[in-house]
A and B are shown apart, each in its own frame.
Chain A
Amino acid sequence: MAFLRRYLRSGAGMAGLLILAAIALAALAAPWLAPRDPLAIAGPALLPPFSDAGLPLGTDRLGRDVLAGLIHGARASLAVGLAAMAAALLIGSVVGTVAGFAGGLVDEALMRITDAFQVVPRFLLALAFVSTLGPSIGTVVLAIALGAWTEPARLVRAQVLSLRERDFVAAARVIGMHPAEIAFREILPNALTPALAIAALIVAAAVLIEAALSFLGLGDPNIVTWGTMIAEGRNLLRTAPSLSLLPGLALVVTVLGIYLVSEGIGEALDRRGRAAP
């Protein structure tokens, strides 16, 4: 609660929250805001924006509703972003906890694996993964998580290394708790905070990677995503610029919103440090 109050005092955090809330609301309400299949042909092709009240943002090359695409695209972007973030945190925290708590050879091995993943550029890894397994929303999420779990793993490990020397861990050992129970029930919950602070950044990166994959034709072709919309609009950049500019704008605003939220979380965490020494 105190954290929430501190967060609400951050201007950037509030702005980000408002932006994200609006986008999330649109994504959640998509079936009511745009009940038609966003891939359905809704009108004449290449209708410019603001020329038809029924299709306020116009239509694309095949006559699909651009507004419906944007709204449903928000679903894909946020869903992929959140799922990839959850997967990355899950993998990262387990690896980090095990490495930090077990120490020794296990720590060495796990950290070298983490290094191996960290040296491969994240986008390249996702690209290779998706082009091998075939594009679908599941593989895209996994591909992004595969490149994103290393940072939380390192943060959690560092945290665990310091926590495992604390008195409450020693106490838990004394009362005979199983080491796994100590690691995951006593230490992990306390080690997770810094990882959560970068969670928002993982979401932002995931949204961008998903858009880039779709742009390259490696997204799931059966759903609308902003990346696909930009890719399809690219050929018409001179004739109908709105087709790539609108989804591009949506992408910028979303990522900006996520960054602002992450900023807000960071500030709130900082203030806690100062307010309660």
Chain B
Amino acid sequence: MAVLTVSRRLLLQGTAALAGLATLGLRAHAAGGGRLVVAADSEPKNLNPAIVASNGVFFVASKVIEPLAEASYTGENGLAPRLALAWEGSSDGLSVTFRLRPDVTWHDGKPFTSADVAFSALQVWKPLQNLGRTIFADLTAVDTPDPLTAVFRFSQPTPIQLIRNALPAVTAVLPRHLYEGTDIATNPANVQLVGTGPYRFAEYKPGQYYRLTRNDAYWDKGKPALEEIIFRVLPDRAGAGAALEADEIQLAAFSAVPLADLARIAKVPGIKVVPEGYEGLTYQLVVEINHRRKELADLKVRQAIAHAIDRKFVVDTIFLGYATASTGPVPKNAGEFYTPDVETYPFDVARANALLDEAGYTRGADGVRFTLRLLPAPYFNETRQFGDYLKQALKAVGIDAQLVNNDAAAHIKAVYADHAFDLAVAPPVFRGDPAISTTILVKSGLPAGVPFSNQGGFVSAEIDAVIAQAARTVDTSARTQLYKTFQKLVAADLPLINVAEWGFITVARDTVENVASNPRWAVSNWSDTALQG
């Protein structure tokens, strides 16, 4: 009998342990500094933000590895200092001096110095990083006169405005002592991250979760407020909303809760919907045009297509109001560069029809002027829905658009390598500066196969010249002026059609504090994020 009792107790213990395993990190502990459980929808293979500058990586890694500066609503030039306290560009554009934060240590206890910055810039950002390759193309050396000063030297004038705008996304600093002399691309620290940030990387269970714990030695004394952050892998978008309602997770960023579900979930007590905190991560809804098609090479046809799109419908129905209609290639919330003073194309079906008639493409007996292939990018529900809508909008002006659906890899191959499209719907990201985002969709001369670039065969010597000049203009106001000219030229010539711009939505429990405290909040360090006791 005794044996039986023991085995039953063992059995119970086993069951409890199993249950504990199953719910590890899934329930919030209201007491103490707290554990924040967040929905993660992807598991990047390489988590190193200095190599892979993408939002999927930043989402987890930005809490561990910090950049030199972060975007800010209130700071000078829209920046708040992180590992750098100040930065200044020389008037000839050939050097930028960073003064670094003192008394910062890596998670393994070693001190952070200018040597780490020099190593990261020359060995990682410039040769290995997707964005850094462009920005730091002319970087030749980084001088380190003392442990808290780093001077970047360029062979060609490099605008300080570009460097500034790029700081939050491209300057994640790596610990030199762990990377030097190793194969950087395969270093184990790319997964088991070591940084200076408010959270340490604790563990990663593939298919289950990432766990970050509080860095007690963080340079910003008294922060962070949380004990632990768990990124729970929840690939099913329908699941995030239900998990929030059940309080299994407290936060779902990057629109993990579908737009169409927001109106309902906003009414659930204890849950808030936060559309702020993504101003620095604006996505643009763009119609890419293949100018090799003779009909689309005609400006009148492109103007007609621009007039055929009802931007109000796109914003109100497809994005349910969580978007803004675009006027040109720079989004409205990039206030520094944006100009509304460009050619606009109000929704006007009659005008579109008249333009197409003028261009000589009259309707056939079946009401069709010509047929096009339309390839909506498969990454977002909204890009697919806009594809469905665009087909109908074009039908109203006599253009028969045949939708072609592809998976992500096939879409990239069809559009950017094989040019097997007439119109495509793309969601490019505006990265804070036109030099590293929107201009690549317009400038000519890029080889076939470069994804998310101008592969439509559009060539304008005038626009190319403005882009090239802006890349070398050091003076901030002159450079800004050049990009305003760029917007005007693009809106007049329509190499592509900008339809709308949108950010993501965060849905969180009311207990999560300081959500959206900066314009790149989801990919920032969350040192001030807290859970109400």
A131 within 8 A of B: yes
Q: Is the CB of A221 within 8 A of B264?
A: no
Q: Please name all residues of chain B whose beta carbon is closer than 8 Å to the beta carbon of A62 when the two chains form the complex.
A: 317-318, 385, 388-389
A45 within 8 A of B: yes
B395 within 8 A of A: yes
Which residues of chain B from 386 to 413 have any CB-CB distance to chain A below 8 Å in the complex?
387-389, 391-392, 395, 402-407
Smallest CB gap from A219: residue in B: B405
Q: Please name all residues of chain A whose beta carbon is closer than 8 Å to the beta carbon of B258 when the two chains form the complex.
A: 235-236
Smallest CB gap from B393: residue in A: A41
Q: Is the CB of A221 within 8 A of B405?
A: yes
Q: Is the CB of A41 within 8 A of B389?
A: yes
Complex: how many Å from CA A62 to CA B238? Answer: 19
| Known contacts A222-B402, A235-B238, A236-B261: A217-B378 contact under CB 8 Å | yes
A239 within 8 A of B: yes
Q: Contact flags (1/0) for B216-248 with A, using CB distance below 8 Å?
A: 000000000000000000000110010000000
Out of B264, B402, B405, which one reaches A217, CB within 8 Å? B405
Complex: how many Å from CA A234 to CA B381? Answer: 12
Q: Is the CB of B392 within 8 A of A221?
A: no
Q: Is the CB of B261 within 8 A of A239?
A: yes
Complex: how many Å from CA A235 to CA B387? Answer: 18
Q: Please name all residues of chain A whose beta carbon is closer than 8 Å to the beta carbon of B263 when the two chains form the complex.
A: 239
Q: Is the CB of B317 within 8 A of A39?
A: no
| Known contacts A235-B237, A235-B258, A235-B381: A45-B405 contact under CB 8 Å | no
Q: How many residues of B contact A (CB 8 A)?
A: 26
Q: Please name all residues of chain A whose beta carbon is closer than 8 Å to the beta carbon of B378 when the two chains form the complex.
A: 217
Complex: how many Å from CA A45 to CA B407? Answer: 27
Q: Is the CB of B404 within 8 A of A221?
A: yes
Out of A40, A131, A135, A238, which one reaches B392, CB within 8 Å? A40
Complex: how many Å from CA A37 to CA B368? Answer: 15
A-B contact count (CB 8 A): 56
Q: Please name all residues of chain B whose beta carbon is closer than 8 Å to the beta carbon of A239 when the two chains form the complex.
A: 260-261, 263-264
Q: Please name all residues of chain B whose beta carbon is closer than 8 Å to the beta carbon of A46 when the two chains form the complex.
A: 260
Q: Is the CB of B261 within 8 A of A235?
A: yes
Interface of A is mostly: loop
Complex: how many Å from CA A222 to CA B392? Answer: 11
Which residues of chain A from 115 to 151 have any CB-CB distance to chain B below 8 Å in the complex?
131, 134-135
Q: Please name all residues of chain B whose beta carbon is closer than 8 Å to the beta carbon of A131 when the two chains form the complex.
A: 407
A237 within 8 A of B: yes
A61 within 8 A of B: yes
Q: Is the CB of A39 within 8 A of B238?
A: no
| Known contacts A39-B388, A62-B385, A239-B263: A234-B238 contact under CB 8 Å | yes
Which residues of chain B from 257 to 298 have any CB-CB distance to chain A below 8 Å in the complex?
258, 260-261, 263-264
Smallest CB gap from B313: residue in A: A41
Smallest CB gap from A63: residue in B: B317
| Known contacts A131-B407, A217-B378, A221-B404: A238-B388 contact under CB 8 Å | no
| Known contacts A234-B238, A235-B238: A221-B389 contact under CB 8 Å | no
Q: Is the CB of B403 within 8 A of A222?
A: yes
Q: Please name all residues of chain A whose beta carbon is closer than 8 Å to the beta carbon of B237 when the two chains form the complex.
A: 235
Smallest CB gap from A131: residue in B: B407
Smallest CB gap from A218: residue in B: B405
Q: How far is the CB of B391 from chain A (nearest CB, A)?
A: 7
Q: Please name all residues of chain B whose beta carbon is closer than 8 Å to the beta carbon of A236 when the two chains form the complex.
A: 258, 260-261
Which residues of chain A from 37 to 55 have any CB-CB distance to chain B below 8 Å in the complex?
37, 39-41, 45-46
Complex: how many Å from CA A143 to CA B317? Answer: 36
Q: Please name all residues of chain A whose beta carbon is closer than 8 Å to the beta carbon of B404 when the two chains form the complex.
A: 134, 221
Smallest CB gap from B242: residue in A: A238
Q: Is the CB of A135 within 8 A of B405?
A: yes
Q: Please name all residues of chain B whose beta carbon is closer than 8 Å to the beta carbon of A217 when the two chains form the complex.
A: 378, 405, 407
Q: Is the CB of A37 within 8 A of B395?
A: yes
Complex: how many Å from CA A236 to CA B238? Answer: 9
Q: How far is the CB of A12 from chain B (nearest CB, A)?
A: 37
Q: Please name all residues of chain B whose beta carbon is closer than 8 Å to the beta carbon of A238 when the two chains form the complex.
A: 241, 261, 264
Q: How far is the CB of A212 from chain B (nearest CB, A)?
A: 15
Complex: how many Å from CA A234 to CA B378? Answer: 17
Smallest CB gap from A217: residue in B: B405
Q: Is the CB of B260 within 8 A of A235?
A: yes
Complex: how many Å from CA A39 to CA B258? Answer: 22
Q: How far is the CB of B319 from chain A (nearest CB, A)?
A: 11
Q: Please name all residues of chain A whose beta carbon is closer than 8 Å to the beta carbon of B387 when the two chains form the complex.
A: 221
Complex: how many Å from CA A86 to CA B19? Answer: 53
Q: Please name all residues of chain B whose beta carbon is closer than 8 Å to the beta carbon of A237 when the two chains form the complex.
A: 238
Smallest CB gap from A235: residue in B: B258
Q: Please name all residues of chain A whose beta carbon is closer than 8 Å to the beta carbon of B313 when the two chains form the complex.
A: 41
Which of A46, A61, A217, A240 has the most C-beta atoms of chain B within 10 angstroms of its own C-beta? A61
Complex: how many Å from CA A143 to CA B302? Answer: 38
Q: How far is the CB of A233 from chain B (nearest CB, A)?
A: 10
Smallest CB gap from A45: residue in B: B317
Complex: how many Å from CA A26 to CA B385? Answer: 27
Smallest CB gap from A132: residue in B: B410
Complex: how many Å from CA A237 to CA B237? Answer: 12
| Known contacts A238-B261, A239-B260: A61-B385 contact under CB 8 Å | yes
Q: Please name all residues of chain A whose beta carbon is closer than 8 Å to the beta carbon of B406 when the two chains form the complex.
A: 134
Which residues of chain A from 220 to 252 have any CB-CB distance to chain B below 8 Å in the complex?
221-222, 234-240
Complex: how many Å from CA A226 to CA B385? Answer: 17
Complex: how many Å from CA A134 to CA B420? Answer: 13
Q: How far is the CB of B261 from chain A (nearest CB, A)?
A: 6
Which of A41, A218, A237 has the most C-beta atoms of chain B within 10 angstroms of its own C-beta? A41
Complex: how many Å from CA A168 to CA B388? Answer: 60
Q: Please name all residues of chain A whose beta carbon is closer than 8 Å to the beta carbon of B405 when the two chains form the complex.
A: 135, 217-218, 221
Complex: how many Å from CA A200 to CA B381? Answer: 36
Q: Please name all residues of chain A whose beta carbon is closer than 8 Å to the beta carbon of B241 when the two chains form the complex.
A: 238
| Known contacts A135-B405, A217-B405, A237-B238: A39-B392 contact under CB 8 Å | yes
Q: How far is the CB of B345 from chain A (nearest CB, A)?
A: 20
Complex: how many Å from CA A221 to CA B411? Answer: 15
Q: Can you pick out 23 interface pairs between chain A and chain B where the beta carbons lie within 8 Å of each other?
A: A39-B391, A41-B313, A41-B389, A46-B260, A61-B260, A61-B317, A62-B318, A62-B388, A62-B389, A131-B407, A221-B387, A222-B391, A235-B258, A235-B261, A235-B381, A236-B258, A236-B260, A238-B241, A238-B261, A238-B264, A239-B260, A239-B261, A240-B260
Q: Enumerate the 3 nearest inter-chain pairs by beta-carbon distance, A residue then B residue, closest first.
A: A221-B403, A235-B258, A221-B405
With A61-B260, A134-B404, A235-B258 already in contact, 6 other A-B pairs whose C-beta atoms are closer than 8 Å: A39-B391, A40-B395, A46-B260, A62-B389, A63-B317, A235-B381
